[in-house]
Amino acid sequence: MTKVSKTVKQPYQHSGIEHPQFLTIDGQTVFHKIVLFLKKNGNWDDTYLEMIAAASATYQNYCIAQKQVNEFGTTTETGAGGLKKNPAVDIASASFRDFMTFSNKFGLNPLFENKVSNKNADDESEI
């Protein structure tokens, strides 16, 4: 008789840094992706934890709002029977914009990756 492993596979690769408990799976996934990316590029610093948690929560909000748009559409019916824009459209848009602003600062966006210096690079300054 063979023994069956009961190991539960996480839906994402863990970075070794504990994520905040308020993050859903979407937020946890992007949190660990960001930490792994920063570690790989030599730019991880423990002081970034709160900022990355906030960015991950923003991405999480984008996912929640976008799922609402996908399920209910871009318009909703008013009490009087007219149509109005689904508020989730604006929430998804603002959340994604805020996340992209964060991603540019850490070089996650390929268009900005050369503007972020490597913390571990040799610093030849005299300061």
Report if residue 13 sits inside a domain: no
Report if residue 72 sits inside a domain: yes
What are the pLDDT digits (tens) for 48-102? Answer: 999 999 999 999 999 999 999 999 999 999 999 999 999 999 999 999 999 999 9
Q: Collect all residues with Cβ–Cβ distance below 8 Å to 99 and sequence separation of at least 6.
A: 55, 58, 59, 62
Report if residue 106 sits inside a domain: yes
User: Which one, of 123, 121, 119, 122, lies nearest residue 43 by Cα?
Assistant: 119
pTM, two decimals, is 0.77
Domain that holds residue 70: 25-111
| Number of domains comprising the chain | 1
Strand partners, 76: 84
Report if residue 93 sits inside a domain: yes
